[in-house]
Structure 1
């Protein structure tokens, strides 16, 4: 974690900073509780990544706010080449998974006429190319799966067996896309349980988005990888926006992507899970 000097802190758009304390905030950013005359806030810092790093998150929060509770953005910018983002402090509580499912379903009913996003996100650990496409399979395969597989190969985390099963998976996606109409829905993009929280007033909230417009089954599939979402969540979702028949047959497409990303980022600790997912494609 980068040590923030008094000179660095002085450049924040805050008055009379009284305390700064590191807090847990994931493995991507340096995270702090910061208290100033403006109140108690959450500060995220991305060393040497500049303002651009948090521009994508701010855009995502704005888009999700059309249908979801999201953090309040105070400001974001760049100090000495470090990106920073200031959010209003959120006290974590508990709430009803059914209502969380309803909220995610409402987000997925925000549509676009194409798949992608106006901006690429290329300053993260895994670059996301969001060029607009009319075809979901073209977007997902060419702009998510293939670039990630290339990175996995460069780290020696790909092999012939994985490639064999992947070719079958890829063909399934192409064939399904040719025979079914997939609407481009607004997606959270990284919907694991740590990014779906409840406030002390029991309101569900989505945080840390990685948005784009895609197949809504992408988000739902990611919720199944590491758990944390119970039957009430899926019931709330389906009561609001029923899933297409056969979802359970397609969930592996997106689980594969999400677990491969973990293999690329964190190593073969996730390799057994990846191979288990791929083994169903034969």
Structure 2
């Protein structure tokens, strides 16, 4: 029996395709997934269809498509292949994202295997204009990522963390105490940790980052045993951003994964700031989760306490930064 698809989805499939099976597949907080078995020219191929029924659904679908397209450019064997996206013809309140179907295992990728994939992504990707950002807005879950191009990483990250906090407050309500702490944090800590990356003769190159790098979006293809990245919200940014979620104990990527990555790609200079930068990057995921999930609303307090810890460590901001010459210039070092 032929299954009738929405015309917009059908148009993204090969000509003369016949859908012979459609089954619910996967778990998603922001969408509904299906596995499609499609017969075309005598061959049966499988696809994964995601239906998004959320505000800004069309932008969500396009952001994911463009992110996966960019990932696939640099990781052709390790990224879900985007096929198409668009708004449903039969239901303009919903959009779809279509990709090749993969039989994925929930097995956690090992540290060495993960480091190899990230080294390839971060080591070969190049920003099209040398700036930080992306050519369109993407979404971390349903949280907007402001991707207007920036000359400095400090500018991009400051803008985004402020945006994330504003979004969380729109869900959980105002918090004057948090805001007062955040004001001091943005004045002192963010410049102190990010400005030295691109001053004093140091520099970082914008590389493609996945943007939501946790085990739920990084799984193993059972047929090839390769790591596959999906559900990306990409930008060209600091490579260490993809390590932020490895800091949190609720995820199955651990300090061992971070250590193996740092064997492949050394921390950016100043090296002594790496752990604090990692804490800074982890804050984004925590404040986002505080807004996304009721059972994680407590993470707002965690972020506030982490801000206070780093303010106490860097009370003078950039005025307290002391240059330490630990740039050896060794040809064996691989530093972005």
TM-score by length of 1: 0.86
In the alignment, structure 1 segments of 5+ residues that lack a partner are none
Find out whether 1:145 has 2:195 as its counterpart: no
Find out whether 1:161 has 2:170 as its counterpart: no
RMSD over aligned Cα atoms: 2.6
Question: Shift of the alpha carbon at 1:253?
Answer: 1.1
1:162·1:278 contact (CA, 8 Å) conserved in 2? Answer: no
Q: Based on CA coordinates, which of the two structures has the bigger radius of gyration?
A: 2
Specify which of 77, 87, 100 is matched with residue 86 of structure 2: 77
Specify which of 50, 56, 66 is matched with residue 44 of structure 1: 50
**Moved beyond 6 Å, runs of 4+:** none
Question: Shift of the alpha carbon at 1:279?
Answer: 4.2
> Deviation string for 1:73-100 (max 9, x for gaps)?
2332222322112211111235543111
> Deviation string for 1:163-193 (max 9, x for gaps)?
3432343222213333222332211011111
In the alignment, structure 2 segments of 5+ residues that lack a partner are 199-203, 313-336
Q: Distance in 2 between matches of 1:209 and 1:124?
A: 9
What residue in structure 2 maps to residue 58 of structure 1?
Answer: 65
What residue in structure 2 maps to residue 111 of structure 1?
Answer: 126
Q: Distance in 1 between matches of 2:68 and 2:252?
A: 22
Question: Shift of the alpha carbon at 1:158?
Answer: 4.4
Corresponding pairs, count: 277
2:172·2:291 contact (CA, 8 Å) conserved in 1? Answer: no
1:98·1:232 contact (CA, 8 Å) conserved in 2? Answer: no
Question: Shift of the alpha carbon at 1:50?
Answer: 5.4
| 1:250 counterpart SS class | helix
Tell me: CA distance 1:256–1:232, structure 2 relative to 1, closer, same or farther (3 Å): closer
1:54·1:85 contact (CA, 8 Å) conserved in 2? Answer: yes
> Mean Cα displacement is larger for which, 42-51 or 76-85?
42-51
2:8·2:86 contact (CA, 8 Å) conserved in 1? Answer: no
Matches within 5 A, 1:129-278: 129-142=146-159, 144-170=160-186, 171-181=188-198, 182-200=204-222, 201-225=224-248, 226-230=250-254, 232-244=256-268, 245=271, 246-267=273-294, 268-278=297-307
Q: Distance in 2 between matches of 1:67 and 1:198?
A: 18
| 1:223 counterpart SS class | helix
Specify which of 10, 13, 20 is matched with residue 12 of structure 1: 10
Tell me: CA distance 1:119–1:172, structure 2 relative to 1, closer, same or farther (3 Å): same
TM-score by length of 2: 0.73
2:133·2:147 contact (CA, 8 Å) conserved in 1? Answer: yes
